Structure 1
């Protein structure tokens, strides 16, 4: 019967576990609601259909990385408002007619990574509003196989990473009047013929971007692009080798394109061949903007650096990025507006080489690792407005005359992230039109000592973040009276000086990380338009300065990461009225009643506090890391915490006492079960031996051998031999050991003193001796023990002071005397 009950119980547990596992599995496969009733994500849930819990109000659904197999007309529930659907890598093999009839308002459909074998003629018939179709990596072999002729709203068709072998554009493209992007990157297009581009040559494609990057084009039939007009044409890594590139570009004669993108990807290595330069074919193409990236063979093909540009002279924008250029010789570009020579190997800034480009408006020469000097001048560059020479390793000992004397219309100057620039005198004389100056993370010298910016009356934006500058003069920022943005974190300001009185139009001021420990009210005097003030990561202990009438226009104040203990009521009453964001997080707040008004204010103004959960108490210790915005932090919480701590202290004391006296409590509990005197029962043993298991060798080989095998034999009780299995150890010690024996033998050693059980057994024996009223404990000192060690066992130390004990010595004479005395002590009183 018991076996049947156990079997039934086991089966019940198995069934319950299975049910719970199933529920956990189902709940684990639930789609996430990323935006209430609007956006849902079912990604990677191993689903085979659209879950019915997706509401009809859904507008966006990410169903990628699931398993659908076939899309038929009932694959989707009715989702009339759905506009975005991602079916990436869902194992779709077949898309049947009208598969999307229940999601007919889609504008974006993503089918990337599906091994589509069949598209029926009416697969996309319902998608009249579709604007973006992504069918990348689906095994598509030709654009003609896409049944999309009716998608008149289609703007983007992305069909990269397929096996399309021809650029042949189907006739249905005539219907796609809204098409703006045709992406065929990473296909197998190797040749382009006249027949392939028939449609392109007959259409108005002035708004179309055609991407053919990472194909394997080796042949273009002459005239294939004659008359074709494109917005952009991307041909990065589209040719197998430079010779093919040149030939194919020449064959594209007659092509007109606003932006042409050429070059390689950094992991693409092309075989260099002899012959004409790889850019010579560009002379046959009409373009406005050209981007050439990662071509590292230009210097080898063009020993005369000027020849690199001979087919680019009519461009308005030229970008030669990461082409390993080391020097520069350029012709005069009659139309050039923008030139970008970033990521090359220049050692000197080619200012002289670029002089006389009087149409150039923007020049970028950034991220040149070897570019360390700027010694030449920009001459006759009257149109240059934007100069970016950031992220180089430039060191300038004297700036900025005469370097910029020929660029007097300069508006934007970016020299950030360089090594060191030193300014002297009227450093910006000749470029008084400067409006934006960026010097961040560049060590600048002489900037804080005198008014270097005095002649920059139009300057509106200045960034000197972490420029290792020490401001010592109150006139250091004199000049740009119309300055609106000043970013100066990570610099040092001499204490007690007002620096911003010359910049009354400031709207944003960042002086974080500047080691301020005090800011007097007059610091911001006259800043009538200041809206954003960042003084975070300083050492401020008070924020009285925010009550200055000059700061009434502030909408954002960042005081985070300072040493502010709290905000008094006098400051709270005068905070700027227009403040929208107030960040005072990460300060060591003192959560005492002195700042009770601040706690209430913070609770009432959580809407404007940034990171309110990071307003944490630092002191007192009882409230460490408690949130300031929690109400009644001064009263109720203090009382609650005090009571709680008191209870915890009491409970801890009780727990410690129980742990310390656990054996004694167990002993009392056993005694309460009932008392049986040894005088009323017959003892089974002559002596119960209390010893450490580490001394078992001596007990068995010496004590047991001499007492139990002697004459007369003495019956010993040993815990490892005579205790009853299945009972509590404490019960065995008392009932089977002490209560069933006339005497108790204590084998005292260092191991005994280290054993809690041994000390417990001794205490029980002492208590039993007291109840019996007869001497029954015999102590054997097995080895020399220091008195300091015995003192740790208070009762034992006291007992040895008042009672005689035996001491074991391992020699023949002493051993004989020892066993005689021990046998006599054990047998005394035996009837």
Structure 2
């Protein structure tokens, strides 16, 4: 029975172990640039299947219990090893024997207690060792062989002493971190092991230090930096510490949060024989600093008094002649005495944020001749109105940056900053300014480059608001209440050097086309959150307002949230340098082709949260060529071949970064694709129909063209023929073929009824006056000789005429003389001479059977050019006469 129980227990253990292995195998290490990341995989040992040539291995946040040399045999090229956040409780000797190149070893957050003497004997190349958050007890010299170590972190280890060795060692150590331990005193021999070391930084913060033994810090070869934050020192221990630091190489001393509420004029006397350059006294609830307390710190360059409660007297900073940086954030109380800073004639940076004092007096900043940066952000100093005297004490300074954010300024008088001629950056943001800027407010700012006026109440601009600051390069007016910019000339015209302009969040609805005229250097223009929709509508009374046309160097344009639902095709013309365009959160749907033709250099395009349904190549082809970032999510895409096929193909091959591609690019229509990703749209069917679409377009075009030609010929064919004949005849002239030897006296003999006499006289005989083609007709009334019978004269005239013209009307068909004699004679002569000499002119619509019954003639007996119809339309009379001339001049021989 006992054997069976043991067997089942063994089987259970094996199954649990197998499950752990399966769970581990479910996730694999990530290999990149010879670095293996095996963190957070619940590993119980170092993987053995990693590449041999890896130089970095991260096995942190796992379940390792040991870190033996045998596990690292395969990875002899390791330079970096992170085994932190495991449960390693013991390190084996000769840890680095198989990784001799190791430089960084991290073992923080483990369960280490004791370090064997030779545990790091092979780690001669180690430069950084992190043993923080363990429970290490130091005995003998575990770090003796680490000659190249520069950083050693033993913080949070419950060490009771700072002594880490019995012999001189760690000669290249630069940073020793011993904070958050249980060190209560610093003995003289504690740092003997560092007697040949130049330590840049010694961290002893958050230790319960009570005593500094004489000479305790002198045992260190050179100590340049000491950090003792969050240690209960008080004034007495601080004085003792300064005494111990006397005649050392200390340069950086941090005493933040050490309960130093009082500083006497001898507190820092021990630092007189040092070259201390940095002193941090922040978060000490300092309330009293005696005059001349800093007189011993003549080399000090940086002083941090942040988060205290001190009063600035006229001799507080006496002796700090080399101070360059003074931090007084949230540290002042009461009035600041005049000339308090005049000892600091080398001060360059003065930060006085979050303070409360009555105001700026006439001589408050006197003596700060080298000051470059002054910040009064969020100060309650009764600065509602800035006059020309407010900063007069800085008249001799070289101030370049002035921060007046959140100081409750409401107005600026003329010449308010006239004392600051060297100023380059002026921050007036987040105030309560409500006034019309007339121009003199900024008079005297000869070198100003940046003005921040954003987030004010009501900044009203005029044409001359910035007339005195032509050097300005950046102007921020976001949410400043300057909604009326439809003024001429533009308030920005004097700013020819402007490179950045922010007038967003101002509810601007009306501007003029020349608002940005002349700003040829403008790189960035921010117009988001305004109301510019009407300006680009074609229905606008004066047409679309093209206010971007004079910005050839614009690179960043923000038009987000302007209610735009229409964009003119020429609005972005000429913006060849545009790199970033934001049109997000508008109401855009159909964009005109060629809109982005000039934006081939575009790097990022934002069209998210619009009403775009189609993304076609003719619109988006040019801007998407070199695009790196595209934001077009949250649009109701129409997933059809015409609207989205090209875009879907582009999305599948582009290298651009597209946020939300796998979740936010969703089809809205048709129902077949509703809710599916644009990325999954199948465009293969669109490509198969391409040849048929082309064939349809060609056939449709051909049919339409033929119909057009037929209609033209039907309605205007006579005109085309008329002009064609005129052109040909004038260029080539007439040529009669196979002309008979005999000469004719007349071009034509006219046979007509007596009722048609007037028509003949008016429309035919008048042609004899044609200068280009002279004609001669035989007229009975004019050309018959007297004394000859009408019969003989008719026969003779027909023989002497080349052509015979029949004027066919109902009267002709009923005229017995014409019908029985003249027509018969003309027909007989044409047959006898084998000549095609008869021309029929129909003045009326005579049916062919009537013509044959009366005259024995048919239309089919004559050439088409010899059958003419008198036109009903007057405009066609010229064409009729041209046809008659052509018929008269044509050859008469029958082939």
Q: Does TM-score exceed 0.5, indicating one fold?
A: yes
Q: Is 1:561–1:587's contact at 8 Å kept on the other side of the alignment?
A: yes
Give the number of aligned pairs. 617
Partner of 2:589: 541
Q: Which of 349, 352, 371 is equivalent to 1:317?
A: 349
* Offset, 1:23: 3.7
Q: What is the rounded CA distance, in whole Å, between the counterparts of 2:649 and 2:475 in structure 1? A: 41
* Residue in structure 2 matched with residue 49 of structure 1 by the alignment: 66
Where does residue 117 of structure 2 map in the other structure?
A: 97
Residue 485 of structure 1 is matched in structure 2 by 524
**What is the DSSP-based 3-state SS (H/G/I as helix, E as strand, rest coil) of the residue aligned with 2:581?**
strand
Gaps of 5+ in 1: 639-831
Within-5 A mapping of 1:715-794: none
1:47 aligned counterpart, secondary structure: coil
Alignment match of 2:371 (pick from 332, 336, 342): 336
In structure 2, distance between residues paired with 1:624 and 1:83: 57
How far apart, CA to CA, are the structure 2 residues paired with 1:192 and 1:546? 79
CA deviations over 1:312-348 (Å, ceiling 9, x no partner): 4442222234343442322221322222333432331
1:578 and 1:185 mapped to 2: Cα distance? 53
**2:670 counterpart (620, 624, 633):** 620
Q: TM-score, normalised by structure 1?
A: 0.64
Q: Provide Cα deviations, 1:607-656, integer angstroms capped at 9, x if missing partner.
A: 12513324322222332332222362675999xxxxxxxxxxxxxxxxxx
- Counterpart CA distance in 2 for 1:603 and 1:250 is 71
Match of 1:524 among 572, 591, 604: 572
C-alpha distance 263-354 of structure 1, shift in aligned 2 (>3 A): farther
Distance in 1, Cα, partners of 2:144 & 2:500: 52
Structure 1 residue 380: Cα displacement: 2.1
Q: C-alpha distance in 2, partners of 1:484/1:581?
A: 19
Deviations 1:338-388 (Å, cap 9, x if unpaired)?
223334323316774433424343445356475655558223222222233
Displacement of 1:556 after TM fit? 2.4
Q: CA RMSD in A?
A: 4.2
Q: Secondary structure in 2 aligned to 1:601?
A: helix
Q: For each residue in 1:50-81, what CA deviation from the matched residue of structure 2 results, as whole angstroms up to 9, or x when unmatched?
A: 49599736665543332222333255794566
253, 256, 267: which one pairs with 1:248?
A: 267
- Quick check: 1:155–1:181 contact (8 Å CA) kept in 2? yes
State whether residues 104 and 126 of structure 1, in contact with CA within 8 Å, keep that contact through their aligned partners in structure 2. yes
- Please, which of 305, 310, 317 is the counterpart of residue 292 of structure 1? 305
State whether residues 93 and 116 of structure 2, in contact with CA within 8 Å, keep that contact through their aligned partners in structure 1: yes
Decide which of 111, 128, 137 is 1:117's aligned counterpart.
137
Q: Secondary structure at the match of 1:522?
A: coil
- The 1:152–1:483 alpha-carbon spacing in structure 2 relative to 1, beyond 3 Å, is farther
Deviation for aligned residue 1:304: 4.3
- Gap change, CA 1:597 and 1:355, over 3 Å in 2: same
Following TM superposition, by how much is the alpha carbon of 1:482 offset from its aligned partner in structure 2, in angstroms? 0.7
| Structure 2 equivalent of residue 347 of structure 1 | 382
Tell me how far 1:255 sits from its aligned partner.
4.5
State how 1:375-414 maps to structure 2 within 5 Å: 377-390=416-429, 392-399=430-437, 401-414=439-452
Deviations 1:21-57 (A, max 9, x none): 4444455568974554433424444431249599736
**Correspondent of 1:136 among 155, 164, 170:** 155
Are the counterparts in 2 of residues 296 and 323 from structure 1 also a CA contact under 8 Å?
A: no
**Alignment partners' CA distance in 1, 2:545 and 2:508:** 15
Instruction: Report the 3-state secondary structure (helix = DSSP H, G, I; strand = E; otherwise coil) of the residue aligned with 1:509.
Output: strand
Q: CA shift at 1:415, angstroms?
A: 3.3
1:454 Cα deviation (Å)? 1.6
Q: Which residue of 2 aligns with 1:423?
A: 461
Q: 1:619 to 1:110 in 2, by over 3 A?
A: farther
In 2: Cα distance, 1:573 partner to 1:124 partner: 67
What secondary structure sits across from 1:492 in the alignment?
Answer: coil
Aligned residue for 1:802?
none
Residue among 490, 493, 499 paired with 1:454:
493
Distance change in 2, residues 1:263/1:573 (3 Å): closer
| C-alpha spacing 1:162/1:578, structure 2 compared with 1 (3 Å) | same
Partners of 2:641 and 2:686 within 8 A in 1 = no
Question: Which residue is equivalent to 1:571?
Answer: 619
Q: SS state of the match for residue 595, structure 1? A: helix
Residue in structure 1 matched with residue 84 of structure 2 by the alignment: 64
Whole-Å separation in 1 of the counterparts to 2:23 and 2:356: 53
> Map of 1:328-727 to 2, 5 A cutoff?
328=360, 329-348=364-383, 352-357=389-394, 358-365=396-403, 368=406, 374=412, 377-390=416-429, 392-399=430-437, 401-447=439-485, 449=487, 451-493=490-532, 494-495=535-536, 496-544=544-592, 547-575=595-623, 577-595=625-643, 597-611=645-659, 612-613=661-662, 614-630=664-680, 632=682, 635=685
What CA deviation, in whole Å up to 9, does each residue of 1:640-696 have, x standing for no partner? xxxxxxxxxxxxxxxxxxxxxxxxxxxxxxxxxxxxxxxxxxxxxxxxxxxxxxxxx
Distance 1:318 1:17, change over 3 A: same
CA gap 1:636/1:302 in 2 versus in 1, 3 angstroms? closer
Q: What is the CA–CA distance in structure 1 between the aligned matches of 2:7 and 2:612, rounded to whole Å?
A: 62
SS in structure 1 opposite 2:650?
helix
Q: 1 CA distance for matches of 2:215 and 2:201?
A: 21
| Aligned counterparts, 1:65-84, within 5 A | 65-73=85-93, 78-79=98-99, 83-84=103-104
Aligned partner of 1:38 in structure 2 is 36
Going from structure 1 to structure 2, the CA distance change for 1:591 and 1:107 (only over 3 Å counts) comes to farther
Partner of 1:158: 177
Deviations 1:139-158, CA, capped at 9 Å, x for gaps: 34554426896545544433
Residues 261, 26 of structure 1: alpha-carbon distance in 2 compared, 3 angstrom cutoff: same
2:730 alignment counterpart? none
Change (3 A) 1:403 1:150: farther
Answer yes or no: is the 8 Å Cα contact 1:596–1:634 preserved in 2. Answer: no
Query: Aligned pair in 2 of structure 1 residues 622, 153: CA closer, same or farther (>3 Å)?
Result: farther
**Higher-helix-fraction structure:** 1
Structure 1: distance between partners of 2:569 and 2:166: 72
- List gaps (5 residues or longer) in structure 2: 40-58, 313-331, 537-543, 689-895
